[in-house]
Amino acid sequence: MQIYLPIAEISLDVFLLLGMGGAVGFLSGLFGVGGGFLMTPLLIFIGVSPAVAVASEANQVVAASASGMLAHMRRGNVDFKMGAVLVAGGFAGSSFGVWLYSALRAVGQLDLVISLAYVAFLGIIGTLMLAESVRAVLRRRRPGTQLRKLHQHTWLHGLPLKIRFRKSKLYISALLPLAIGFFVGILSAIMGVGGGFIMVPAMIYLLGMPTATVVGTSLFQIIFVTANVTFLQAVNNQTVDVVLALTLLTGGVIGAQIGGRFAGRLPGEYLRLLLGAFVLFVGALMMFGLVSTPEEIFSVSVGAAR
């Protein structure tokens, strides 16, 4: 059954979209990742223009992170003060990101930058995940005592504007979470992702936040930043397809629930190994799209009347 997407201006099979939403939702439930970084490339592969894919996916991530945050809030795992600082950085970053997006679109290089960003980030994240999970698998086979220092002092702790974050038991410069929020905000606008895959490791390793509050707090930031991206994309570029976002969401919610049930039954390091391999595969597909000789080197777009 075909469904006409009013903003993307193409017809796609509604079951294909639901299935994609379900599959990515399943993975996000299984691995505890947002899934935006997988969904946007998939949308591009099936023919949605990168501009619409990125903006609509940001809209879908609002919903996905809202339902995720709810669960973490009930368990008291959200550091609202830290979240607010991350949001402040995120608002600035995503606003700059949307401006950059519009500028790149005007000069015809948006699709290229989106693809390049994906190749770079999927490549890096996939490699890190693979390496980490291989180490974890080896460690599991050869158990030994391995202690990590809880807190290390670096130059990062010498920055001004120190704030106390009680929930996370931290006394650090606000500039650090502001910078992290800003950077993730840019990614959110350009790539249509929540950015959890960057923010979570940054919060653990750069800020030294306790793992328990990291996911809930990052989801809190993601809701506001993707909402800002959705709003700015809708106003500046009219590329947010609500029909597309809602269709993906419907499949995604169901898939995430099923994935969540499976999550407890499989060993974590093997799961991360699988996800890492999958992420690398998607990155390789994007890379292939960039380097392989295109069937047609000319493309046409409608220009604004002059």
Partner 1 sequence: MRGRGFRILLAAALLFMAPLRGGPAAQELIADLSRHLVAITTGFAGTEVLLFGATEKAGDIIIVVVGPTRREIVRRKARIAGIWVNDAKLAFKDVPSYYGLAASRPIETLLSAAAMRRHGIGIQYLSLNPERQIDDNELAEFRAGFLRYKILNGLFTVRPRDVVFLGKRLFRSSIYFPANVPTGTYTVQVFLVRDGRVVSAQTTPLIIAKVGVGADVYHFAHNSSVLYGIIAIVVALLAGLFAGVVFRKA
**Which parts of this chain interact with partner 1 (CB under 8 A)?**
1-7, 9-11, 59-60, 62-68, 70-71, 108-109, 111-112, 116, 223, 227, 230-235, 238, 240, 242-243, 245-246, 249, 253, 257, 290-294, 296-306
Q: How far is the CB of 5 from partner 1 (least distance, A)?
A: 8
- DSSP-assigned letter for residue 303: P
Minimum distance from residue 210 beta carbon to partner 1 (Å): 24
CB nearer to partner 1: pick between 64 and 202: 64
* C-alpha R_g of the chain: 20
93 sits in which H/E element = helix 80-106
Count the Cβ atoms, other than its own, within 10 Å of residue 211: 10
Min dist CB 302 to partner 1, Å, is 6
Spacing of C-alpha 1 from chain mean position: 30
Q: Which residue has the tokens 């990614």?
A: 187
Question: What span, in angstroms and rounded, lies between the C-alpha atoms of 295 and 289?
Answer: 11
Nearer to partner 1, 62 or 207 (CB): 62
CB atoms inside a 10 Å sphere around CB 67: 14
CA distance 41 to 184: 18
Tell me whether residue 129 or residue 222 sits nearer to partner 1 (CB atom).
222
Q: Minimum CB separation from partner 1 for residue 217, in Å?
A: 17
Of 66 and 137, nearer to partner 1 (C-beta) is: 66
Cβ atoms within 10 Å of 64's Cβ, excluding its own: 28
Q: CB-wise, 96 or 278, nearer to partner 1?
A: 96
Identify whether the C-beta of residue 4 lies closer than 8 Å to the C-beta of residue 241.
no
Helices 36-45 and 268-291, interaxial angle, to 10°? 40
* Smallest gap from residue 212 Cβ to partner 1 (A): 19
In the complex, minimum distance from the CB of residue 59 to partner 1, in angstroms, rounded to a whole number? 5
Q: Based on CB atoms, which residue is closest to partner 1, 12 or 207?
A: 12
